Structure 1
Amino acid sequence: MNTWKFVPIETLVDRQTLADAEAFDLNSYTYESQVRGLALRWLAPSKRLLWMAAGLEHIEPELLDWIDSIPRGANYFDFGASNGIFALYAAKRGLSVTAIEPDPSNYFLLSWNAFLNRANDVNIAAFNVAASDRFGVDKLYIRKMELGAHEKIVGSATAVSGDSFHAQHEHAIQLVHFDKWRAQMGLPEPEFVKIDVDGHEVPVIAGARESLSKCKEIFIEIEDAKMDELAGMLRVLGFDRARQYQVQNYAGLWNCIFTRDGAA
């Protein structure tokens, strides 16, 4: 005999707690920005997220410039999309965007921001996986549990600088061999690729060799210590480094644009 019975929430919490829960509305944390003539809406319930939303044009302007140079309708892949600030900008620019973000909290923001910017002219597909050179499970080492934060590192608690850190949290994540996964999922071949994966670049490139060998340009964040190794991997795939820009406030960290035969 089933003895289950409905228990009203009013009997479990006090009135103020219930009133606070009923009053909570994520829409009250929405911020709208104008970026290069485009209106974008963001979920920004913290100072950091508000800074990312309001200051998008000042974070990595060279990345916005690069996105602006991509023809409308092109297939743009964003590895390490975070909360989607650049992926959504690219989608608003008329690109067909595939965004990949392994961190569950940042993926939530990415998904919500895609919802806030839903429109017939926005084409974005988002996936909560880590691109790699194998299928499996690994850990994401999170230096600080904060929405929109960086230093959420696949495989080890090692910062981009090479220094070890104490992870505030470790989260199991799904790794996918990118080339095989893309084929299984029926996703398009990437034409333009952005890679910002905080030290996980080698497995990403190794697992995406087939896909990258067919794409036109790559925008990738690289620290000095890995420049020769990653440039060598991309050279094998037919790319030369055309331009590079120091990442704001990070000495020894560069945003690099790789093109076929170094074409500008």
Structure 2
Amino acid sequence: MTDETRPAGAAAPTPISIKQYEQLQPRAAIEHAGVRMVFSTPSEMALWRVRTIRTKEPCTLEWIEGFQADDVLLDCGANVGMYTIWAAATRGVRVFAFEPEAQNYALLNRNILLNNLSARVHAYCMGLSDTSGLSQLHMADLRLAGSCHSVGEALDYKLEPLRPLFVQGCVVSRLDDLIAQGATPVPTHIKIDVDGFEHKVIDGARQTLRNPAVKSLLIETNPALAEHRGMVEALRDLGFAYDEAQVSAAARKEGPFKGVAEHIFRR
């Protein structure tokens, strides 16, 4: 086999063994309040998530800073666990993390292991929605630590038709069903970031959200979507309020996600 991408006259790269390759295991570490966190970074996207954690969603870190050690965080759309690990490691909370994409779920568990958090963090390879059962995950990005996938329907983050690069089988559940079955406790805080389908997660959690034990939610919301505007009104009806100034500060000012912002809802 020849390497047709190597310039003429260039030396052939020194080969490495499979064992050497497996031992590479690239990682990146960050520190906050004297706590060191380590993340597996086998791709550029995974490394980018570590490098940008302080700047990508600063309001999310500020929200986590208010957690108490006996709180329970439910992280829906956990990806590789950046905020799951941050919350468990720096605030000492218990976390129930949900991520249906198989590659990201594997990295999520590796990050839990690297930070010795298996007693505090429980991760599940499934999505939350308004139905329970077997479903499909329509993947928009095949990179490790990628995002913008959709559960159940081939729609993008603007709820417009998506041509997926791959369709993976997955399991979904209503949060209300999981809590009724005793699979998860009623969370103190809920983070939802599922790229356009946040309203479905809320629809499957109406009973849970009536419980006064739920103190706050952080939801990535697109005000251009009627479904999301309806979701905001539904949360208001359930007794939650948000700060317009906080949302304005969090809103993306440019790019494809312009206008999208994290809404922090509190009782």
**Which of the residues 54, 58, 66 maps onto 2:55?**
58
Judging changes above 3 Å, is the alpha-carbon distance between structure 1 residues 247 and 90 closer, same or farther for their aligned structure 2 residues?
farther
Q: Which residue of structure 1 lines up, in the alignment, with residue 240 of structure 2?
A: 239
Q: CA deviation at 1:134?
A: 2.2
**Cα distance in 1, alignment partners of residues 117 and 103 from structure 2:** 24
Q: In the TM superposition, what is the alpha-carbon distance from 1:203 to its structure 2 partner?
A: 2.1
* Equivalent residues of 1:99, 1:125 under 8 A apart: yes
Q: 1:112 to 1:185 in 2, by over 3 A?
A: farther
User: What is the aligned length?
Assistant: 242
- Aligned equivalents of 1:104 and 1:213: distance in 2? 32
Matches within 5 A, 1:136-155: 136-155=133-152
Question: 5+ unaligned residues in a row in structure 2: which ranges?
Answer: 1-14
- 1:84-103 aligned within 5 A: 84-92=81-89, 93-103=91-101
Structure 1: 5+ residue runs without aligned partners? Answer: 1-17
Residues 90, 145 of structure 1: alpha-carbon distance in 2 compared, 3 angstrom cutoff: same
Q: Secondary structure at the match of 1:188?
A: coil
The one-letter code of the counterpart of 2:101 is D
- Contact 2:43/2:143 (<8 A) preserved: no
The residue matched to 1:141 in structure 2 has which SS? strand
2:123 partner SS: strand
Q: Distance in 1 between matches of 2:117 and 2:24?
A: 17
Q: CA deviation at 1:26?
A: 5.4
Alpha carbons 2:199, 2:228 under 8 Å: kept: no
Call closer, same or farther: CA 1:119–1:77 in 2, change over 3 Å.
closer
SS in 2 for 1:113: helix
Alignment pair present for 1:218 and 2:197: no
Moved over 4 A (4+): none
Where does residue 30 of structure 2 map in the other structure?
Answer: 33
Query: Which residue of 120, 139, 146 maps to 1:123?
Result: 120
Cα separation, 2, equivalents of 1:79 and 1:58: 21
Q: Is the 8 A contact 1:143 1:151 kept in 2?
A: yes
What is the Cα deviation at residue 204 of structure 1? 1.0
Instruction: Give the structure 2 partner of residue 182 of structure 1.
Output: 179
Q: Distance in 2 between the 1:106 and 1:52 partners?
A: 12
Structure 2 SS opposite 1:73:
coil
1:114 equivalent in structure 2: 112
Tell me the TM-score normalized by structure 2: 0.84
Deviations 1:191-212 (A, max 9, x none): 1111101122222111111222
Where does residue 80 of structure 1 map in the other structure? 77
Aligned-pair identity in percent equals 28
AA matched with 2:99: E
Query: 2:158–2:196: 8 Å Cα contact kept in structure 1?
Result: no
C-alpha distance in structure 2 between counterparts of 1:192 and 1:101, whole Å: 17
Larger mean Cα displacement after TM superposition, 177-186 or 97-106: 177-186
State whether residues 190 and 212 of structure 1, in contact with CA within 8 Å, keep that contact through their aligned partners in structure 2.
no
Q: CA deviation at 1:33?
A: 1.7
Q: Which residue pairs with 2:44 in the alignment?
A: 47
With normalisation by structure 1, the TM-score equals 0.85
Q: For residues 211 and 108 of structure 1, what CA distance do their matches in structure 2 show? A: 28
SS of equivalent residue, structure 2 residue 96: strand
Return the alpha-carbon distance in structure 2 between the equivalents of residues 26 and 63 of structure 1: 34
Is 215-224 or 30-39 further displaced after alignment?
30-39
Q: Partners in 1 of 2:261 and 2:49 — Cα distance?
A: 19
